[in-house]
């Protein structure tokens, strides 16, 4: 198999209908920057043309140099999200945000469960209930 091909991944933002990525190949030593410029100007592949007309932004997300021609076909046969560093970074940030929200929610729930004043003070820890009784905020039991 011949090598020397350059494969590139374009991230489409926002997604154009079903597509969030475009995978292309440069042959015969063609410059990736030139090819990406064609995509960006709406003169590239049909998908990127329609995405640009719809107002989507195109980002050159990743480039593989000195590849076999068949590599592009193998890559196109599956989801491109795992290959995209932009999507990976967003997934990592979303996961961090979810864990922060989950921790905050758990903390709020724990605080509600352990320290939320109840009309009669029955659910409060004894020292806190005693101090509230002393100040007249809850009834003595």
pTM: 0.65
Q: What is the CA radius of gyration of the chain?
A: 28
Nearest to 11, CA basis, from 69, 44, 51: 51
| CB-CB contact of 22 with 54 (8 Å) | no
Measured in whole angstroms, the distance separating CA 3 from the mean position of its chain's CA atoms is 33
Confidence of residue 10 (pLDDT cuts 50, 70, 90): very high
Q: What is the pLDDT of residues 75-122, one digit of tens each?
A: 887 888 888 999 988 888 888 877 776 666 565 555 555 554 455 555
- For the chain, which residues make up each domain, given as ranges? 5-79, 93-134
* Helix, strand, or coil (residue 15): strand
Give the model confidence (pLDDT) of 38-62 as tens digits: 999 988 899 999 999 999 999 999 9
Contact between 129 and 116 under an 8 Å Cβ cutoff? The reply is no
- Which 8-state DSSP code applies to residue 67? E
What integer pLDDT is reported at residue 49 of this predicted model? 94
- The confidence band for 16, taking pLDDT boundaries of 50, 70 and 90, is very high
């Amino acid at each position: 198999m011949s090598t020397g091909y350059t494969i590139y991944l374009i991230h489409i933002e926002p997604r154009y209908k079903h597509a969030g990525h475009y995978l292309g190949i440069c042959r015969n030593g063609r410059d990736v920057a030139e090819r990406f410029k064609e995509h960006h100007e709406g003169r590239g592949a049909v998908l990127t043309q329609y995405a640009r007309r719809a107002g989507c932004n195109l980002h050159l997300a990743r480039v593989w140099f000195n590849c076999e021609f068949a590599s592009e076909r193998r890559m196109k046969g599956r989801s491109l999200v795992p290959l995209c560093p932009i999507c990976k970074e967003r997934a990592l940030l979303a996961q961090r945000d979810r864990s922060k929200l989950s921790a905050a929610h758990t903390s709020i729930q724990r605080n509600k469960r352990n320290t939320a004043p109840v009309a009669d003070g029955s659910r409060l820890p004894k020292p806190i209930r005693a101090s509230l009784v002393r100040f007249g905020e809850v009834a003595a039991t």
